[in-house]
């Protein structure tokens, strides 16, 4: 039956026209009621049928995450449980066969000709020679290519020991050479290195070029709520190979100069997560694992400060260094089932009952808990499996046992040594090969890994070219969730942690980042039509993008020098040197605009600093030719009403006067854990605690009161 | 642990490890309510009622989900409370049994929890008398568990 007829049939409602209940002018009530109930029933049936006949195809009722582009004609794109229905639906629809296009015919003819040619070449056992190229010049070219290859081999490059093309790219006491990647795409990777999972991510994520890498930013599908939910009940995985690692010799004095380690960190029982210091100044958040047994220390840090740190250590301490940016990769796992997920794909070379036992429990380990062991190639098992637990252990005993680390020193030695890492790639097979021959001969079965808990997640550190196989295997686990840089930021925000760079505006790297964000948003904004470019009129001299700390610094110090500013003066006034005097807000705006130098002008409030003390008391003097850095302090708040975005402005009392400006919001938005709008911001340190503050979003005039938390 | 053995006070950052450690399934998550010391009494009661109503055919509109599949075998909702929340939990049991006419079973027991004492975070080194290394201590805590039987019809 064709579809039109079917719909017509389902929409007709059966009725009894000649009513038998009405006979000879008398109405038989029971019969009448019976007939009406029949009508009502058939009306209901018709409604149900209509709904069913007009129903969508089966793949259209799937949740967004299970929908696929080609599901309408390729049943393999539909989940298995719905395939039968999908096949039936496909058979129902009348598909007319398309005529072959001329291009298709041409391609078929060409392939036929090529096949003929190939068979002829095979018969002659030689390749036809291009008569136009001179033989001598051709030989010369080939010789040059060979010489090139030989010279590149001698350049500190280990010999390839696998068909995957994996090799250990470590710079010993110098920065490592950027990997060129696949020859086909090498031009695109000249400035921004691709992660090993790049091609996988490019199909599913928005990517961003920063700090010499192409970094997954966020999935193309909407995931704000699902990320929050998955972090509470499942696992979210992040490829964080763009975080840079270096390995240096174990030296307690160097370590104590760089971080503030505890005894268990120095002994190698725990990893360190916290501030890294250069010349006693905090510069960034780092992860450090010291191994006195191996005589090495691993340092993993954000790519924005890596090169500075590398050069600092090399020049100041003179210890042996390995630049492992492109030889160690990492995957971060967030959520209570993180360890269970890893358990499903890890097949450990030695029996470690403690690790297997972890799969049954919620993750409740303290930051710093570290494990290290060797695993087998995860691709040798077709599916993720729950490992059989041979001996049950109490969870509390596990926590106590793991607090002193679960370290296999041999794995650490292998992981921290360039040759050891290169050896892990021995006979590494391609996935294609493994799918053809699931149990190939000569397989190498020892991949060293380091698994450590940071303040927010489990961090898995593996040799660079093992990231992709592990990543692909993790993706086979059902209900695993994915995230990029934005999701890491979201989770930090929801759990009340500061995210590195954005929420530390007083650090030089964060300052550069803020300046860059301002430029990018400005460029994007300038492309909008004039009617949508109305921000400036609300900003009263502030930059319309990002946090304008320079304006705030000058506003506070100049107001201190010249006293309260008037709103407006009819005429500008000049002193004897023909320098415009600052008497009004307009004068201030002119002054700031003409003297912008875009240099870091803020620092974190330090109660021991003598200037900061006098700044909070208000008994300091200002030299306008050399302004000091503005001390700022953090505020965390909720918003009872209204909305909040990043870079909102913070005012004292009300936002009607620009003189009331005291700070900026670094991260703001809806916090799903609190169920409210919330934010993190910084304000000038002279504002006493408990002052009433309001915020105003960029490009708006509406202000909202905030509640400090 | 015998009552006479008094636990020694340890100076350090006290990290309390959770008692609820097993990974729960989706159905378990939807049928278990854990009373915290910060849970307000009335909001706990409201949330438990919301859980119970999902299974009641006469109240809920989404009847199919909670009557079939894995939900079919659910007989009761579990409410757990330990330590100082026992009183709140029993108050909830009282309300559900006497005012809402649910059948409520009360189970008692004790659970082992773990206390971790870490050296305090300080740049100038730990203060005098504080521990230098992490110390672990196990402790037994009483708990009650309520089984609130569902009314499906």
Read off the pLDDT of residues B16-28 as tens digits, 9 standing for 90 and up.
888 888 888 889 9
Give the minimum alpha-carbon distance from B25 to chain A in angstroms, rounded to a whole number.
9
Nearest to A683 by CA among A563, A592, A556: A556
Least confident stretch, A63-72, A247-256, B71-80: A63-72
User: Looking at the predicted structure, is the pLDDT value of residue A228 above 90?
Assistant: yes
Contact of B144 with B86, CB cutoff 8 Å: yes
> Each residue of A1-41: pLDDT tens digit?
566 676 677 777 766 667 777 777 788 888 888 888 988 99
Provide the greatest CA pair distance for chain A.
Answer: 118
Looking at the DSSP bridge assignments, the partners of residue A74 are none
- Rounded CA separation B16/B36 (Å): 14
Q: What is the 3-state secondary structure (H, E, C) of A65-109?
A: HHCCCCCCCCHHHCCHHHHHHHHHHHHHCCCCCCCCCHHHHHHHH
* CATH entry, A508-708, from 3.10.20.90, 3.30.457.10, 3.40.50.10790, 2.40.30.110: 2.40.30.110
Chain B residues with CB under 8 Å of A366 CB are 15, 116, 118
Candidate from A233, A336, A396 with C-beta closest to B114: A396
Contact of B114 with A366, CB cutoff 8 Å: no
Q: B136 and A403: CB-CB below 8 Å?
A: yes
- Rounded CA separation A594/A603 (Å): 23
Radius of gyration of chain B (CA): 20
Owning domain of residue B36? 24-110+141-149
Q: A264 and B133: CB-CB below 8 Å?
A: yes
**pLDDT (mean) for A51-60:** 72
| DSSP code at position A685 | T
Domain ranges of chain A: 3-91, 238-495, 508-708
Mutation for B interface: A263, A269, A364, most B CBs within 10 A: A364
pLDDT classification of B2: cutoffs 50, 70, 90: very low
Domain of residue B39, CATH code: 3.30.110.20
pLDDT of residue A479: 87
User: Looking at the predicted structure, is the pLDDT value of residue B1 above 50?
Assistant: no
In a domain, B119, yes or no: no
Give the minimum alpha-carbon distance from B98 to chain A in angstroms, rounded to a whole number.
33
Determine the residue of chain A that is closest to B15 in CA distance: A366
If one compares A507 and A262, the residue with the highest pLDDT of the two is A507
Q: A399 and B118: CB-CB below 8 Å?
A: no
In a domain, B66, yes or no: yes
Give the minimum alpha-carbon distance from B114 to chain A in angstroms, rounded to a whole number.
6
Determine the residue of chain B that is closest to A256 in CA distance: B123
Mutation for A interface: B1, B16, B19, B21, most A CBs within 10 A: B21
pLDDT of residue A151: 62
| DSSP code at position B101 | -
Contact of A677 with A638, CB cutoff 8 Å: yes
Candidate from A263, A394, A403 with C-beta closest to B132: A263
pLDDT classification of A153: cutoffs 50, 70, 90: low
**pLDDT (mean) for A533-560:** 85
Give the minimum alpha-carbon distance from B113 to chain A in angstroms, rounded to a whole number.
7
- Rounded CA separation B141/A160 (Å): 59
User: Looking at the predicted structure, is the pLDDT value of residue B110 above 60?
Assistant: yes
pLDDT classification of A645: cutoffs 50, 70, 90: very high
Q: Sign (positive/negative) of CA torsion B120, B121, B126, B127?
A: negative
pLDDT of residue A510: 93
Q: A263 and B133: CB-CB below 8 Å?
A: yes
Q: B23 and A361: CB-CB below 8 Å?
A: yes
Chain B residues with CB under 8 Å of A364 CB are 17-18, 21
As a whole number, the mean pLDDT across chain A is: 87
In a domain, B2, yes or no: no
pLDDT of residue B140: 92
Chain A residues with CB under 8 Å of B138 CB are 396
pLDDT of residue A24: 79
Output the CA torsion A664→A670→A676→A680 (10° steps).
-30
- Provide residues of A within 8 Å CB-CB of chain B: 233, 260, 262-264, 336-337, 340, 360-362, 364, 366, 394-396, 399-400, 403
User: Looking at the predicted structure, is the pLDDT value of residue B101 above 70?
Assistant: yes
Start-to-end CA distance of chain A, whole Å, equals: 67
User: Looking at the predicted structure, is the pLDDT value of residue A306 above 90?
Assistant: yes
In a domain, B34, yes or no: yes
Chain A residues with CB under 8 Å of B136 CB are 396, 399-400, 403
Q: A260 and B123: CB-CB below 8 Å?
A: yes
User: Looking at the predicted structure, is the pLDDT value of residue A579 above 90?
Assistant: no
> Each residue of B52-90: pLDDT tens digit?
988 888 877 766 788 888 888 999 999 999 999 999 999
The percent of residues in chain A predicted with pLDDT above 70, rounded, is 93
Question: How many CB atoms within 10 Å of residue A357?
Answer: 22
Contact of A344 with A477, CB cutoff 8 Å: yes
Give the minimum alpha-carbon distance from B16 to chain A in angstroms, rounded to a whole number.
10
Chains A and B form CB pairs within 8 A to the count of: 43
Give the minimum alpha-carbon distance from B7 to chain A in angstroms, rounded to a whole number.
18
pLDDT of residue B58: 82
pLDDT of residue A58: 84
> Each residue of A490-530: pLDDT tens digit?
999 999 999 998 999 999 999 999 999 889 888 998 999 98
Candidate from A262, A360, A396 with C-beta closest to B23: A360
User: What's the burial of A212, exposed, middle or buried (CB within 10 Å: 0-12/13-18/19+)?
Assistant: middle
Q: B114 and A399: CB-CB below 8 Å?
A: yes
Domain count, chain B: 1
pLDDT of residue A187: 85
User: Looking at the predicted structure, is the pLDDT value of residue A94 above 70?
Assistant: no
Q: Could you give the C-alpha distances from A87 to A39, A58, A350, A513, in angstroms and in order?
A: 36, 10, 47, 52
In a domain, B121, yes or no: no
Name the token pair of A263.
């005894």
> Each residue of A348-389: pLDDT tens digit?
888 888 888 888 888 888 899 999 999 999 988 888 988 777
Nearest to A365 by CA among B23, B18, B133: B18
Q: Sign (positive/negative) of CA torsion B96, B97, B103, B104?
A: positive
Distance of CA A115 to the CA centre of its chain: 47
If one compares A446 and A123, the residue with the highest pLDDT of the two is A446
Give the minimum alpha-carbon distance from B28 to chain A in angstroms, rounded to a whole number.
12
Give the minimum alpha-carbon distance from B17 to chain A in angstroms, rounded to a whole number.
7
Determine the residue of chain B that is closest to A479 in CA distance: B26
- Provide residues of B within 8 Å CB-CB of chain A: 15, 17-18, 20-23, 29, 112-114, 116, 118-119, 123, 132-134, 136, 138
User: Looking at the predicted structure, is the pLDDT value of residue B48 above 50?
Assistant: yes
| DSSP code at position A531 | G
Least confident stretch, A69-73, A577-581, A634-638: A577-581
In a domain, B14, yes or no: no
Nearest to A57 by CA among A91, A84, A90: A90
pLDDT of residue B125: 52
In the numeric block, the tokens 């250590």 are attached to: A313
**pLDDT (mean) for A231-260:** 93
Local structure of B74: helix, strand or coil: coil
């Amino acid at each position: 039956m064709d579809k039109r007829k079917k719909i017509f049939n389902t929409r007709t409602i059966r009725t009894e026209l000649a009513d038998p209940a009405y006979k000879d002018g008398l109405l038989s009530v029971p019969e009448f009621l019976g007939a009406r109930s029949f009508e009502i029933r058939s009306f209901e049936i018709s409604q149900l049928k209509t709904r069913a006949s007009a129903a969508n195809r089966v793949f259209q009722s799937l949740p967004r995450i299970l929908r696929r582009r080609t599901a309408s004609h390729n049943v393999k794109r539909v989940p298995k449980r719905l395939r039968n229905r999908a096949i039936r639906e496909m058979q129902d629809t009348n598909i007319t066969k398309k005529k072959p296009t001329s291009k298709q015919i041409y391609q078929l003819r060409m392939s036929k000709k090529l096949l003929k040619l190939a068979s002829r070449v095979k018969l002659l056992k030689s390749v036809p020679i291009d008569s136009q190229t001179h033989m001598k010049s051709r030989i010369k070219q080939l010789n040059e290519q060979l010489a090139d290859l030989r010279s590149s081999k001698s350049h500190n490059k280990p010999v390839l020991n696998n068909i995957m093309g994996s090799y250990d790219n470590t710079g010993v006491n110098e920065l490592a050479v950027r990997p060129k990647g696949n020859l086909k795409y090498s031009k695109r990777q000249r400035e921004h290195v691709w992660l090993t999972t790049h091609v996988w991510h490019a199909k599913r994520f928005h990517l961003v070029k920063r700090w010499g890498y192409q970094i997954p930013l966020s999935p193309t599908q909407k995931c704000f709520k699902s990320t929050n939910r998955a972090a509470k009940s499942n696992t979210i995985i992040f490829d964080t190979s763009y975080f840079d690692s270096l390995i240096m010799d174990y030296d307690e004095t160097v370590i104590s100069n760089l971080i503030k380690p505890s005894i268990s960190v120095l002994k190698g029982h725990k990893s360190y997560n916290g501030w890294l210091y250069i010349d006693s100044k905090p510069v960034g958040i780092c992860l450090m694992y010291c191994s006195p047994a191996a005589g090495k220390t691993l340092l993993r840090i954000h790519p924005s400060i890596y090169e500075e740190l590398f050069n600092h250590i090399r020049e100041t301490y003179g210890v042996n260094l390995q630049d492992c940016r492109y030889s160690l990769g990492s995957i971060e796992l967030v959520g209570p089932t993180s360890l269970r997920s890893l358990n499903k794909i890890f097949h450990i070379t030695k029996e470690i009952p403690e690790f297997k036992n972890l799969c049954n429990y919620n993750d409740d380990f303290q930051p710093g808990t570290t494990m290290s062991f060797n695993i087998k190639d995860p691709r040798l098992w077709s599916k993720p499996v729950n490992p059989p637990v041979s001996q049950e252990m109490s969870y509390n005993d596990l926590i106590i046992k793991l607090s002193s680390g679960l370290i296999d020193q041999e794995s650490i030695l292998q992981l921290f040594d360039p040759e050891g890492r290169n050896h892990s790639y021995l006979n590494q097979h391609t996935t294609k090969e493994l799918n053809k021959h699931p149990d190939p001969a000569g397989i190498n079965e020892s991949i060293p890994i380091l698994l450590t808990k940071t303040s927010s997640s489990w961090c898995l550190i593996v040799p660079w070219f093992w990231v992709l196989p592990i990543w692909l295997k993790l993706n086979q686990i059902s209900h695993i969730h994915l995230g990029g840089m934005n999701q890491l930021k979201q989770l930090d925000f929801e759990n009340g942690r500061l995210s590195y760079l954005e929420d530390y505006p007083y650090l030089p790297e964060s300052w550069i980042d803020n300046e860059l964000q301002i430029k990018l948003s400005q460029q994007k904004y300038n492309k909008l039509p004039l009617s949508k470019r109305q921000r400036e009129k609300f900003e009263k001299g502030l930059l319309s993008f990002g946090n304008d700390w320079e304006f705030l610094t000058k506003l506070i110090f100049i107001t201190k020098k010249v006293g309260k500013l008037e709103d407006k003066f009819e005429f500008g006034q000049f002193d004897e040197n023909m320098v415009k005097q600052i008497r009004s807000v307009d004068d201030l705006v002119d002054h700031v605009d003409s003297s912008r130098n875009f240099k870091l002008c803020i620092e974190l409030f330090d109660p021991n600093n003598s200037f900061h003390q006098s700044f909070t008391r208000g008994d300091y003097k200002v030299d306008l030719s050399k302004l000091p850095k503005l001390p700022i302090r953090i505020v965390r708040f909720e918003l009872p009403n209204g909305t909040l975005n990043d870079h909102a402005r913070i005012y004292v009392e009300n936002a009607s006067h620009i003189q009331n400006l005291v700070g900026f919001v670094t991260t703001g938005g809806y916090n799903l854990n609190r169920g409210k709008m919330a934010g993190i911001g910084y304000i000038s340190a002279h504002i006493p605690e408990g002052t009433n503050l309001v915020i105003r979003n960029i490009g708006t005039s509406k202000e909202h009161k905030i509640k400090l938390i | 642990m015998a009552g006479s053995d008094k636990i020694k006070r340890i100076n350090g950052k006290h990290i309390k490890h959770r008692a609820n450690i097993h990974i729960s399934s989706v159905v378990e998550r939807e049928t278990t309510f854990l009373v915290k010391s910060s849970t307000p009494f009335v909001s706990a009661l409201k949330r438990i009622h919301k859980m119970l109503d999902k299974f009641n055919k006469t109240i809920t509109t989404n009847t199919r989900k909670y009557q079939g599949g894995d939900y079919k075998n659910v007989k009761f909702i579990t409410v757990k409370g330990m330590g100082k929340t026992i009183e709140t939990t029993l108050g909830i049991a009282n309300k559900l049994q006497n005012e809402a006419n649910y059948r409520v079973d009360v189970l008692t027991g004790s659970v082992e929890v773990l206390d971790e004492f870490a050296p305090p975070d300080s740049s100038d080194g730990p203060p005098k008398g504080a521990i230098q290394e992490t110390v672990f201590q196990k402790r037994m805590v009483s708990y009650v568990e309520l089984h609130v039987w569902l009314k499906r019809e």
